[in-house]
Structure 1
């Protein structure tokens, strides 16, 4: 099983420690591309119109300024840098040592800056969205797609892919449909379903934690994932095709 996560918008900067060391990051074939995006991000972040170019508000001025210093900023494991709703629900810090080892092996984070990371990869906090276009790399989802196809092929081979990414990050890598299950979350009230992004993030984080902490063998098929998820949620599986991934729908009652 491989759990695909998006990064969080909110990030917690490391208070001390060494800067990022590309040689120690997972998926080293991405390092040249990482360096290209890092340089382009530093250049745009130093521009007088950096906030507008990166599509962020004035309250994020300090985070954008940090983008110009990322080679020298302190780095920390990705599981502590990413600190949004999904990651709070997953709760890496409260996992047992064995569960943390399982998470380090089973989770891959798709990143606008780093391409792909594992939980124990040490990186600095940054501000960059997958929908951004940078001078040089261009639109980042397009830039990363062929590179991730190559870098992640061996890691994904023979594993069930539990896709908890948001739509933007899902476009940066399209894994084999027959072994992928996209996780959707709905609120249901009076028989009507709606999508609520905050609850979707939280529930995907909860699901990831459940899959990492439950007893027994990790799911290896969409049907086994359905059974595991139904231990906690009301669920349904929409069968995929050779070109379209399966879908696990989690339904939360109002």
Structure 2
């Protein structure tokens, strides 16, 4: 069994739709299947209610979502329907994003797919943290969004999810491909065995550039779960 976790960002781009008959991830009286961090459900419900209250107050909604025009109006209607929305896995929901499409999940061997589903940890502005196979609705919210009594979604989850995340990462090797600013959503107690921060740079004409971060991160995740890598030295054969 793999003893690593991979910290991932969610995607601003999302698929629509899902299964209207999937287990209700917000009802903590029901099965917790496909809701690995179900302990966060009360905090999720509260944040969704705060989001919907602000939308209904028409209070600078574009600042919450980061969209304009018709796309903003569609996102507003999506967020207002969150509690009754159809669900699909986080992996499928975020699949239009470059990070997730670059993982090429469907082409992975079965064992590698399982390692990604079981060991991926996704940071989400609305849900705190998720496993890739957790069922979620389509939603729109950014980590810097301010809500009533909440300085930012990032600060909200920093307090709410950190104890649980630290517990789940205990004694593991952690591959961290998060953008730097997302790490602020977590109070890191260093409970893990080792953390390896992964960043990508290209050297062109003697200058270092940081382009294609999401695409390279997705390819790297593919390699880690395919080879079950738990040691930095074993990354050396990776070609990209």
TM-score (norm 2): 0.86
1:165-194 per-position Cα deviation (integer Å, ceiling 9, x unaligned)? 112322111432872221111121111102
1:193 paired to 2:203: no
- Per mean C-alpha deviation after superposition, the further-off stretch among 4-13 and 152-161 is 152-161
CA-based RMSD: 2.0
1:50 paired to 2:61: yes
> Paired residue for 1:146?
159
1:171 counterpart SS class? helix
> Paired residue for 1:101?
114
2:123 counterpart SS class? strand
1:133 counterpart SS class? coil
> Paired residue for 2:15?
12
- Per mean C-alpha deviation after superposition, the further-off stretch among 176-185 and 65-74 is 176-185
- Per mean C-alpha deviation after superposition, the further-off stretch among 177-186 and 140-149 is 177-186
> Paired residue for 1:65?
77
CA–CA separation in structure 1 for the residues paired with 2:20 and 2:107: 22
2:132 counterpart SS class? coil
Q: 1:2 aligns with which of 5, 16, 20?
A: 5
Shift of 1:150: 0.8
1:168-223 per-position Cα deviation (integer Å, ceiling 9, x unaligned)? 32211143287222111112111110222xx1011011100100112xx531xxxx
- Per mean C-alpha deviation after superposition, the further-off stretch among 114-123 and 10-19 is 10-19
1:228 paired to 2:234: yes
For 1:210-221, what aligned pairs fall within 5 Å after superposition?
210-214=223-227, 217-219=228-230
CA–CA separation in structure 2 for the residues paired with 1:94 and 1:6: 21
> Paired residue for 2:44?
34
> Paired residue for 1:204?
217
* Residues matched between the structures, number: 225
1:85-132 per-position Cα deviation (integer Å, ceiling 9, x unaligned)? 000001223323322221111100011100010011100111111111
Shift of 1:144: 0.9
Unpaired runs of 5+ in structure 1?
234-251
Unpaired runs of 5+ in structure 2?
none
- Higher RCO (CA < 8 A, seq sep 6+): 2
Shift of 1:15: 4.2
Shift of 1:53: 4.6
**Is the CA contact 2:64–2:141 (under 8 Å) kept in the aligned structure 1?**
no
